């Protein structure tokens, strides 16, 4: 299956550090790899309504929900490009992930089987110098990938506060050059890794 990357921009401002870093990494993708870029701020999803257990729950075909569902199902690689907001993903990004829960139960979508084996990646910019404060965001993405049986490529981190700052983070720019080059392993919950070492 030829690769098709969906970049989901989760910042609340255009062309921020997260997007700049994601674009640096994407520049390294081979030309035959399709790239689609969607801003979650420009395509806002409605607040997630938990209709998972309602019998009349139907597949969304219109509006931003239909657009993002179709784009997600079509991608071999999903890149969550969310700034670090309060140590986790932005609200735009979180709302998108919440909609996965609806799509998991939507008749005719087969979301879990479709996503299994596909790749999830993260890109984030943060103002904090110590990168370990991004652990909650990394955990959110890793565990979400593990839940769906996806591969997880990790999170490309870059430092910055005002737009453009990340372009001064030389280490991040170096990491961006090879970020998408690896074939990521299947995501595992931490307790599965612990068991694997026994």
Please give the residue ranges that form the binding site for ligand FMN (CB under 6 A). 11, 13, 16-19, 83-87, 125-128, 133, 160-161, 163
Paired tokens of 172:
């991040």
Read out DSSP for 86-142?
TTB--HHHHHHHHHHHHHHT-TTT-HHHHHTT-EEEEEEEES-S-GGGGHHHHHHHH
Paired tokens of 77:
């690689």
Q: Which stretch of DSSP H or E encloses residue 79?
A: strand 77-81
Give 136 or 185: the residue with its C-beta nearer to ligand FMN.
136
Give 47 or 130: the residue with its C-beta nearer to ligand FMN.
130
Q: How far is CA 51 from CA 3, 48, 108, 111, in A?
A: 32, 9, 15, 16
Q: Are 117 and 84 in contact (CB under 8 A)?
A: no
Question: What's the min distance (Å) between Cβ of 59 and ligand FMN?
Answer: 32
Give 59 or 128: the residue with its C-beta nearer to ligand FMN.
128
Q: What angle do CA 180, 41, 61 make, to 5 degrees?
A: 90
What is the rounded distance in angstroms from the CA atom of residue 70 to the CA atom of residue 74? 6
Question: What's the min distance (Å) between Cβ of 140 and ligand FMN?
Answer: 13
Question: What's the min distance (Å) between Cβ of 152 and ligand FMN?
Answer: 21
Give 85 or 121: the residue with its C-beta nearer to ligand FMN.
85
Question: What's the min distance (Å) between Cβ of 144 and ligand FMN?
Answer: 19
Question: What's the min distance (Å) between Cβ of 177 and ligand FMN?
Answer: 19
Exposure b/e, 124-154, CB count within 10 A at least 16 = b: bbbeeeebeebeebbebbbebbbebebbbbb
Give 122 or 160: the residue with its C-beta nearer to ligand FMN.
160
Question: What's the min distance (Å) between Cβ of 57 and ligand FMN?
Answer: 32
Give 133 or 181: the residue with its C-beta nearer to ligand FMN.
133
């Amino acid at each position: 299956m030829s690769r098709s990357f969906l970049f989901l921009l989760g910042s609340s401002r255009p062309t921020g550090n997260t997007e700049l870093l994601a674009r640096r990494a994407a520049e390294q993708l081979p030309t035959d790899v399709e790239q689609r870029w969607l801003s979650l701020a420009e395509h806002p999803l409605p607040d997630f309504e938990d209709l998972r257990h309602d019998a009349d729950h139907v597949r969304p075909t219109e509006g931003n929900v239909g657009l993002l569902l179709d784009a997600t199902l079509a991608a071999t690689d999903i890149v969550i490009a969310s700034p670090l907001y309060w140590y986790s993903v932005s609200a735009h990004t979180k709302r998108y992930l919440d909609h996965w829960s609806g799509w998991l139960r939507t008749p005719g979508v087969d979301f879990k089987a479709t996503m299994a084996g596909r790749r999830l990646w993260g890109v984030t910019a943060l103002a904090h110098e110590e990168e370990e404060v991004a652990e909650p965001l990394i955990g959110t993405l890793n565990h979400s990938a593990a839940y769906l049986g996806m591969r997880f490529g990790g999170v490309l981190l870059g430092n910055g506060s005002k737009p453009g700052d990340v372009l001064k983070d030389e280490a991040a720019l170096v990491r961006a050059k090879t970020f998408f080059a690896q074939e990521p392993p299947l995501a595992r919950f931490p307790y599965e890794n612990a068991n694997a070492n026994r």
